[in-house]
Structure 1
Amino acid sequence: MVKTRRIAPDAKLEAILQAAEGLFSQQGYSATTIAAIADRAGVAVGTIYRFFPEKSALLRSLHQRVADRMIEAMRIGWQSEPDFAQRFLPMICALFDTAVRDRELLIVLQTARDASPEQFSKAIDKIVTAIRHMYIQGLECGIYRQFDPTIAANIAYGMVEGAMRALMAGKASFPRKVLEDQLATAMSSVFVR
């Protein structure tokens, strides 16, 4: 009798997500098949469907995963600077580092999100909520202007996301460092007292 090694469900899910992330980044969403993802992940096609009812659900899951990476990068950048008035630049730099590393996947995710924004709103909401918590910290220290934290977080998200799109599309009219500095200065002028 041949013994087969069972792979834990968490390990299968991680293999599927890594395979999908790689293939979507390399080939794009439309050109990537569930069969190709299964092959790269080393699982059966049916295993993928146990976790994700369709390919778009897998893409939404990756969007959540990338949002989590971005939130972690923002948090690390944010906490690296003790002066709340100066925290925007390290946060933006850390976020842009993540965006550059995940560039191809983010382009796929942005295209999907632009086509169907309601399906991807949870990931955006997570990012905005993280920014909101950061803003509240600055409010509590008396460093930031008294704006509604949710509105402030949405304004900050819009500023960063617009600059990030330009950077990833290669349409930024300035070098990355200049864009980071200008964005941090703009955010400081809006939010810092």
Structure 2
Amino acid sequence: MSSENIPRRKPRQQRGEQRMAAMLDAAAAVFAQSGFDAATMTAIAERSGSSIGALYQYFPNKLALARALREQYGEEMAQGWSALIADAAQLSVAALADRVFDLMIGFFDAHPAYLTLLNATLGYQRNADARQRLRAQLGAALREKKPEMDEAEALRTAKVALQIVKGLNPLYAEASAAERRALVAEFKLALQAYLKLRLHK
């Protein structure tokens, strides 16, 4: 048999990445179901189909798992924001506010552990460069909507707009399903009103 016909083994690195992804998925499920404080490494190992020893090889404790999930969620959220901001200049203010919060709620629904981890004391802080990049992207989109707005003003407006959006998170986490819908509607109004005022020509 020639070397070309010999089946190639999967690289160890790829297997390791797949195992790590399975562990993170399991951790997310356990955190969402039990909460961060009640979650155990044993439950996470069982859910991922790994031995407890294998789990500890990748993550020394559940805090490390939680921080890795927050990092992963931050990257996914950043991709969603980038796609939305690319469309921002073509959207009305009302449509932009709707899309912003629809993106957030869609993310919460797809990642139920996100709000659990958001309210846990993880000592985690998102990369400052990533935060600044997001603000700059939104600021640039706002300047496309109002070209006479200077760069500093656009960046300030973007910071305030993003802080309004961020303000939903703790209230949403503690609210009932019905109250969550009402809260989202209120935050959409708040963001619409602010952006309409700042973008008024």
Interval of TM-score (by shorter of Structure 1 and Structure 2): 0.7 to 0.9
Partners of 1:70 and 1:120 lie apart in 2 by: 16
Which of 97, 111, 114 does residue 119 from structure 2 map onto?
A: 111
Q: Secondary structure at the match of 1:175?
A: helix
Q: Is the 8 A contact 1:71 1:127 kept in 2?
A: no
Which of 71, 79, 87 does residue 64 from structure 1 map onto?
A: 71
Q: Which has the larger radius of gyration?
A: 2
1:143, CA displacement in angstroms? 4.3
Taking structure 2 as the reference length, what is the TM-score of the superposition? 0.73
Runs of 5+ unmatched residues, structure 1: none
Partner of 1:133: 137
Partner of 1:91: 100
Q: Does 1:33 align with 2:40?
A: yes
1:153, CA displacement in angstroms? 4.0
Taking structure 1 as the reference length, what is the TM-score of the superposition? 0.75
One-letter identity of the residue aligned with 1:126: A
Q: Is the 8 A contact 2:136 2:158 kept in 1?
A: yes
Q: Is the 8 A contact 1:34 1:45 kept in 2?
A: yes
Partners of 1:107 and 1:93 lie apart in 2 by: 16
Matched-pair identity in % = 18
- Farther-moved stretch of structure 1 (49-58 vs 137-146): 137-146
1:155, CA displacement in angstroms? 2.1
One-letter identity of the residue aligned with 1:69: E
1:77, CA displacement in angstroms? 3.4
Runs of 5+ unmatched residues, structure 2: 1-9
Q: Is the 8 A contact 2:161 2:195 kept in 1?
A: no
Q: Is the 8 A contact 2:85 2:141 kept in 1?
A: no
CA RMSD of aligned residues (A): 3.1
1:132, CA displacement in angstroms? 2.8
Evaluate the alpha carbon distance shift between residue 8 and residue 144 of structure 1 in structure 2; reply closer, same or farther with a 3 A threshold. Answer: farther
Partner of 2:168: 163
Evaluate the alpha carbon distance shift between residue 125 and residue 150 of structure 1 in structure 2; reply closer, same or farther with a 3 A threshold. Answer: farther
